[in-house]
Chain A
Amino acid sequence: MLQYVIRRLLYSVVVLVAASFLVFFFVTASGDPLAALYTTPNVSRESIDKIAERKHINENVFVRYGYWAKEAVTAKFGTTLLTNQKILPDLWRVMKNTFQLVFIAELLAVLVAVAIGVYSALRQYSVFDYSATTFSFFGLATPVFWLALMLQVAVVQIYLSTGHRIFPVASLNSVDPGSGLDFWIDRAHHLVLPVLVLMVASIASYSRYMRASMLEVVNSDYVRTARAKGLPERQVTMKHAFRNALIPIVTIVALNFGTLLGGVIVTETVFSLDGMGLYLVNNLLANDPYPVMAFLMVTAVMIIVFNLIADIAYGVLDPRVRYE
């Protein structure tokens, strides 16, 4: 298996290099990132030329890619275009915030979804089962940003009619959050709505997978055997069926986790949370290719790593899987 992991990692490096060039090519081929500066008042021609020289804007794509790759490897993604600020410290800060948000939301979502899925499968075609299915269909058809906005609308309407703000609708903390425990209580209060939004989509899809997986296991031969030899029903479902039904869920959650880390763009924008998504959007609006490249590389690495984790976990949990 070690050999398999090493080969996968080597292959991933090749994919990353190819992907970075592809993205870099498109990002730079689209025009001069400094174009807007020429028409900005109070910016001298010399200072623009200095930036152009520092970032090698006037070279061809291949040379620029070479400079970028060198900077990315040796200087931790280098600096931003205009202000020449280091990229990594900012990126690190927003990554921590995003990770916090995603981790809490996914943890809660998995717990709820597993419970819903198992109960639906054990009581197939019951009222509960149909309600859960309906919820899933609605959850998957609802745009995340709209759900977030509707929660905000609800909070605002409650405020307008009662004068009571039940949850903050923006940012990670209040202006003066306090310290120690107060800080974290303030943070938790701010995270309630974003976490709720992220949970809905995750629960909608995970609970479907959990239900299908549990149904398959419950109808399998070894569960029938366990019943036939007279084990108590509780032991059959919780020990024999439930544990095996969890295996596919582990894979799906791991795959989704990697995508989510780079992909909570919408939620972070609506709630203006200082995370990776908002970081990307702000830098795109500023037309700065360098932080954008750094963001894309970091997220691609995370997707690759979580893909690998998913595959390995699958093999560890299910001995029938063999790595080639």
Chain B
Amino acid sequence: MLPFGEEPASVGSPDLTLAYESGVELEARSQWAYARLRFFRHRLAVASLVVLILIGGVAIFAPQLAPYGFDEQDLLNLNAPPTFDDKHLFGTDQLGRDYLSRVIFGVRTSLWVALFVAILSTAIGTAVGSIAGYFGGQVDNLLMRFTDLILTLPGLAVLLTASVFFGSGDPLKVGLILALLFWTGLARIVRGLFLSLREKEFVEAAKAAGASDMRIIVRHMLPNCVGPIVVTMTLLIALAILTEAALSFLGFGIQPPNAALGTLIDSGQEQGLETWWLVTFPGLVIVLIALSINFIGDGLRDALDPTQRRRA
């Protein structure tokens, strides 16, 4: 029985438990608690999260976990196929380097770049979208036309061109180039949200109370957009992993001695395709990462954005 119309006698502040005189205790749940509940109900998303945390852990502790050094050579085993006797689980490459260790370090680079791209492009997209949506008028027009312009250009081709003419090779530059192209989608989403939030009463109230534009945007409006922003950012990580791999594979992204997963596949296929393990394993890892991130994104969408739940 819910104690309707009865004021709670005490509010247990830290754990947010409401105790009523009638003996009923209610646990107050914040929006985040509900979101968490909804997310953990999505079994695939939780499993994916576990997988991704494991992969991320391996990436962070690569120097401690990798069985061999990154460029440690085993000259008695050049181009050795994978074996299960825990010597070279993924085989070795043409220089006798343990491929499992190289893949582990490759994951480290690829994940690092993808996170960097996602954070930077989310920041740019959110800033552009919120400014355009909040101020409207000419500012909006200008920013959105610029966004359209970038969307008109063929993405991968522009990335290739940019990396040739800006120079590439190290992960930071590749990340920057990717981020400068990836913010457009989020900018449009945030702008759309801001256009409707702008008309809400609480924004009007904040204005009447004399809050500055900056404060209204950051404190009042952005928290209402967290759901879509987080979901988009998650999916951007997956997109960044896939695109960076394609760039590096084509030889326009991260280049040796830095090794990302795409770089490994590229140097693997140059050996000819008889050494299948050099191509197969880094690719499988990419698929695993991208798949987990997409599932997590799906779970987050259900959890944070129940109104936009995908019709399934």
Given A156-B274, A215-B311, A216-B311: A18 and B149 within 8 A (CB)?
yes
Mark interface residues in B148-166 (1 if CB within 8 Å of A CB, else 0).
1100111111101110111
Contact call A296/B157, Cβ cutoff below 8 A: yes
Question: Contact: B311 with A143, CB < 8 Å?
Answer: no
B178 adjacent to chain A (CB < 8 Å): no
Is residue B279 contacting chain A, with contact meaning CB distance below 8 A?
yes
Within 8 A of B (CB), among A297-317: 299-300, 303-304
Nearest Cβ on chain B to A147's Cβ, whole angstroms: 8
9-residue interface stretch from B12-20, B35-43, B243-251: B243-251
Docked pose: A265 CA to B252 CA in angstroms = 12
Task: Determine if A38 is an interface residue (Cβ-Cβ < 8 Å).
Answer: no
Collect the chain A residues with CB atoms within 8 Å of residue B148's CB: 15
Contact B153 A296, beta carbon cutoff 8 Å: yes
Give a binary string over A12-29; 1 marks a CB under 8 Å from any B CB, 0 the rest: 000110110011001101
B157 and A141 contacting across the interface, CB-CB below 8 Å: no
Q: Contact at B246–A144, with CB atoms within 8 Å?
A: yes
Q: How far is the CB of A202 from chain B (nearest CB, A)?
A: 15
With an 8 A cutoff between CB atoms, is B283 at the interface? Answer: yes
Determine the chain A residues whose CB is within 8 A of the CB of B310 once the complex forms: 212
Contact of A303 among B154, B160, B276, B290 (CB under 8 A): B154
Given A156-B274, A265-B250 in contact, is the A27-B279 Cβ separation under 8 Å? no
Whether B154 lies near A19 (C-beta < 8 A) is: no
Is A146 touching B283 in the complex (CB atoms < 8 A)? yes
Within 8 Å of chain B (Cβ to Cβ): is A179?
A: no
Per the bound structure, the CA–CA distance linking A152 and B157 in Å amounts to 24
Distance in angstroms from B82 CB to nearest chain A CB is 14
Task: Tell me if A249 is interfacial: C-beta within 8 Å of chain B.
Answer: no
B138 shortest CB reach to chain A, Å? 16
Q: Which residues of A contact B274 (CB under 8 A)?
A: 156, 160
Within 8 A of B (CB), among A140-185: 140-146, 149-150, 152-153, 156-157, 160
Chain A residues positioned under 8 Å from B165 (CB to CB) = 26-27, 29-31, 289
> Contact between A259 and B276 (Cβ–Cβ < 8 Å)?
no
Within 8 A of A (CB), among B28-75: none
Does B269 have its Cβ within 8 Å of any Cβ on chain A? Answer: yes
Chain B residues in 8 Å Cβ range of A269:
250
Cα A142 to Cα B295 with chains together (Å): 14
Contacts of B252 in A (CB 8 A): 284
Q: Bound complex: CA of A160 vs CA of B158, how far in Å?
A: 39
Considering only residues 189-237 of chain A, those with a C-beta below 8 Å from chain B are 212, 215-216
Dominant SS among interface residues on chain B: helix
Q: Is the CB of A141 within 8 A of B238?
A: yes
Contacts of A97 in B (CB 8 A): none
Q: Tell me which of B161, B265, B291, B294 contacts A145 (CB under 8 A).
A: B265
How many A-B pairs have beta carbons closer than 8 Å: the answer is 132
* A143 close to B152 (CB less than 8 A): no
B234 to chain A, nearest CB (A): 13
Known interface pairs A262-B154, A263-B155. Does A22 touch B149 (Cβ–Cβ under 8 Å)? yes
**Is A112's CB within 8 Å of the partner chain B?**
no
Q: How far is the CA of A281 from the CA of B164 in the complex (A)?
A: 10
Q: How far is the CA of A30 from the CA of B165 in the complex (A)?
A: 5
Please give the distance in Å from A154's CB to the nearest CB on chain B: 9
Size category of the A interface is 35 or more
Given contacts A262-B157, A299-B154, contact A157 B294 (CB under 8 A): no
Instruction: Render B276-305 as a binary contact track against A, CB cut-off 8 A, 1 for contact.
Output: 100110010011001100110000000000
> Do B242 and A292 have beta carbons less than 8 Å apart?
no
* Contact residue among B156, B162, B245, B273 (Cβ-Cβ distance under 8 Å from A265): B156
Number of residues of chain B lying within 8 A (CB) of chain A:
42
Contact among B154, B291, B295 with A296 in the assembled complex (CB-CB below 8 Å): B154
User: Which A residues are CB-close (under 8 A) to B152?
Assistant: 15-16, 19, 300, 303-304
Report which of B250, B272, B279, B280 forms a contact with A266, defined as CB distance below 8 A.
B250
With both beta carbons as reference points, the residue of chain B lying nearest to A33 in the complex is identified as B165
> Of B250, B272, B310, which is in contact with the most chain A CB atoms at under 10 Å from its CB?
B250
Q: How far is the CA of A206 from the CA of B155 in the complex (A)?
A: 20
Contact between A284 and B161 (Cβ–Cβ < 8 Å)? yes
Q: Determine the distance from Cα of A172 to Cα of B166 in the docked complex, in whole angstroms.
A: 32
* Minimum CB–CB distance for A15 against chain B, Å: 6
**Given A15-B152, A144-B246: A265 and B160 within 8 A (CB)?**
yes
Complex CA–CA separation, A23 to B164 (angstroms): 13
Chain A residue nearest to B163 (CB atoms) is A284
Report yes or no: A149 in contact with B246, Cβ–Cβ below 8 A.
no
Residue in chain B with minimal CB distance to A155? B273
Q: Shortest distance in angstroms between A197's beta carbon and chain B's nearest beta carbon?
A: 13
Whether A153 contacts B160 by the Cβ 8 Å rule is no
Q: Chain B residues with Cβ under 8 A from A300's Cβ? A: 152-154
Task: Please give the distance in Å from B125's CB to the nearest CB on chain A.
Answer: 19
Residue contacts A-B, CB under 8 angstroms, 27 given: A15-B148, A26-B162, A26-B166, A27-B161, A27-B165, A140-B294, A141-B238, A142-B287, A143-B242, A143-B262, A143-B286, A143-B287, A146-B249, A146-B265, A146-B287, A150-B280, A153-B273, A156-B276, A212-B310, A212-B311, A216-B311, A263-B156, A265-B157, A281-B160, A289-B165, A296-B161, A299-B153
* Closest A-B pairs by Cβ, 6 of them: A30-B165, A146-B283, A141-B290, A262-B154, A141-B291, A156-B273
With A27-B161, A138-B291 given, can you name 13 additional A-B contacts, CB distance below 8 Å?
Answer: A26-B161, A30-B165, A30-B167, A140-B294, A145-B246, A145-B265, A146-B286, A150-B283, A152-B273, A259-B155, A280-B157, A284-B161, A296-B153
